[in-house]
Structure 1
Amino acid sequence: MHATTLAVADIERSAAFYTALFGIEGSGIIGTEYVATDTAAGGTTAMFTLDDGLIVSVYGRDDMRKDASVALATDPSTTIGHFEESREAADAFLERARAAGATMLEPPYTRPWGMYSGFFQDPDGHLWEVVANPGLGDPAAGA
């Protein structure tokens, strides 16, 4: 099992965004009984388990900073990739992101090597790339 945790400014806002994006029932918010102190992180988070088993979690920026004992970057320095099997499925996922409140970036396009992709940012600026790769799911299609 794998998880990615995103540091966010407002857990409720981010939980609502990801609930709409992933089409999941409920807010996903847990751990509200564990309240932060001046020096210790709280436990409030929202977790979403996707069909492939990946858990996407959102956690307060201040709590993440306290947990990790490190200053957090303010600019997105990584891209979260989401792969779809077709251009139509990628476009549908991008539309769900837009409807959920994502900031849509340049329109999706086909790269010279055949990969179709588009980008959006969630309410906290986390950068997502949605990819439709013609060979996705077909091991014979190449590396």
Structure 2
Amino acid sequence: MDPRITVVTLGVSDLDASIQFYRDGLGLPLRDREPDSDIAFFTLEGTWLALYPRDLLAEDATVPDEGSGGFSGVTIAHNVSTKAGVDEVLEEAKAAGGSVVKPAQEVFWGGYSGYFSDPDGHLWEVAYPQLTDD
């Protein structure tokens, strides 16, 4: 297997609202799509983020869509180059309709990070991985 991830697909409950959150709120670049398409792709550095209705994603994977709303055991991380950048992205996500789940703080591994959730509860860690002393 070639060790790379090319697409991360999030199962979402409201595709239009999720597109608005990621495109308009966080500024991710949406690829061209047909207006009635069931999927949206955002081109990121080295990978794509895809949004697809949760029930259809579960059906495609042939697993039940229990919709429990609990922690799925997956988070997505976004690294920034400064501590202030962590705070800025968390505020950007909040202003876009997300929720700050864990405010930014010094963390056990030596960096600075916090978490937000998108409108469907997908968790994103925003981190400044301090590699040298500031």
Give the TM-score category using the shorter length: 0.7 to 0.9
Aligned residues of 1:15 and 1:46 also touching (Cα < 8 A): yes
In our comparison, the structure showing a higher alpha carbon Rg is 1
TM-score by length of 1: 0.77
Q: What's the counterpart of residue 88 of structure 1? A: 84
What count of residue pairs does the alignment treat as equivalent? 125
After superposition, the C-alpha distances for 1:89-133 in whole angstroms (9 at most, x for unaligned) are 111111111111111123210014421000111100111111101
The residue type equivalent to 1:99 in the other structure is: A
User: 1:110 aligned to 2:106?
Assistant: yes
Deviation of the 1:30 alpha carbon: 3.0
Q: What's the counterpart of residue 48 of structure 2? A: 55
**For structure 2, which runs of at least 5 residues remain unmatched after alignment?**
none
The residue type equivalent to 2:76 in the other structure is: I
When residues 71 and 29 of structure 1 are mapped into structure 2, their CA distance, relative to the original with a 3 A threshold, is farther
Q: What's the counterpart of residue 126 of structure 1? A: 122
TM-score by length of 2: 0.81
Q: What's the counterpart of residue 37 of structure 1? A: none
Aligned-residue CA RMSD (Å):
2.1
Q: What's the counterpart of residue 67 of structure 1? A: 60
* 1: CA distance, partners of 2:64 / 2:32: 24
**For structure 1, which runs of at least 5 residues remain unmatched after alignment?**
34-42, 136-140
Deviation of the 1:22 alpha carbon: 3.4
SS at match of 1:7: strand
Aligned residues of 1:29 and 1:44 also touching (Cα < 8 A): no
SS at match of 2:120: coil
When residues 102 and 29 of structure 1 are mapped into structure 2, their CA distance, relative to the original with a 3 A threshold, is farther
Q: What's the counterpart of residue 15 of structure 1? A: 19
When residues 24 and 58 of structure 1 are mapped into structure 2, their CA distance, relative to the original with a 3 A threshold, is same
Aligned residues of 1:48 and 1:57 also touching (Cα < 8 A): yes
* 2: CA distance, partners of 1:134 / 1:71: 40
